[in-house]
Structure 1
Amino acid sequence: MVTVKVVCAKDLISSIEIEGHAGFDDSGKDLVCAGASSISIGALNALDQLFKNDCILEMKENRISIKVKESKEGLEQVLRCIVIQLETMVESYPEYIRIIRKEV
């Protein structure tokens, strides 16, 4: 299962972590993993270009991490867009991807 952890502080996203494998299909044919990976890697590329100094971005085997150093309006919109895209996947594939939210 792909697990997405979204941590918020005062209605602002402070971190997003995406990890795991969906197990929807065999490697190379797994549409859920491909979709989550596309959203995640595209987001990392956008954040790296638009907000390089405002986030700590990490990509490792089966794990992507986004940690906000300084929240800005445009940055928050991009983060919310990532979450909305992943929520859309959860609607179609709830047994293969889940989102956990935490308020701090």
Structure 2
Amino acid sequence: MLALTINYKNNKIISFKIEGHAGFAPEGEDIYCAGVSAVAQTALLGLIKQLTVEPKYQMEKGFLECELPPSLNEEEMEKAQIILSTMEAGLLSMQEAYPGIIRVNIRRC
């Protein structure tokens, strides 16, 4: 199963993590993994392009973790929230369509 965690603080997304494998097909051929990867990596690239301070991230086979820098100003935080909430909507839609394969956990602190 693909496990996705989206972390909120003060009603703003501050980080996300994706790990695991859908197990539908061999690695590199799994359509579910590819879909989740495409959505998350596009969000990460959007953050890198739109923010003046690059987010902290780690990406390896079957794993992606991204955290916003705490020093973002209000305008940059707003841009980040648009990107990340769009990612969240896409991932939640995928979870709804494939509940046994994709699980999204939302943590609020």
Structure-to-structure mapping, 1:1-104, within 5 angstroms: 1-53=1-53, 55-70=55-70, 71=72, 72-104=77-109
Q: Which amino acid aligns with 1:20?
A: G
CA distance in 1, matches of 2:26, 2:2: 15
**Which amino acid counterpart does residue 92 of structure 1 have in structure 2?**
A
TM-score by length of 1: 0.89
Structure 1 residue 24, shift from structure 2 partner: 1.9
The letter of the residue matching 1:38 is: A
- Structure 2 gaps of 5+ residues are none
Equivalent pairs counted in the alignment come to: 104
- Deviation for aligned residue 1:28: 3.8
> Relative to structure 1, is the Cα distance of residues 85 and 52 closer, same or farther in structure 2, using a 3 angstrom cutoff?
farther
Check 1:52–1:89 CA distance in 2 against 1; reply closer, same or farther (3 A cut): farther
**Identity among equivalent pairs (%):** 28
Q: Is the 2:48–2:54 Cα contact (8 Å) retained in structure 1?
A: no
Under a length normalisation based on structure 2, what TM-score does the superposition of the two structures give?
0.86
Show structure 1 runs of 4+ deviating over 6 A. Answer: none
Q: By how many angstroms is 1:54 displaced? A: 5.1
The more displaced of 17-26 and 81-90 is 17-26
1:90 counterpart letter in structure 2: Q
For 1:78, what is the secondary structure of its paired residue?
Answer: helix
Q: Which runs of 5+ in 1 are unaligned?
A: none
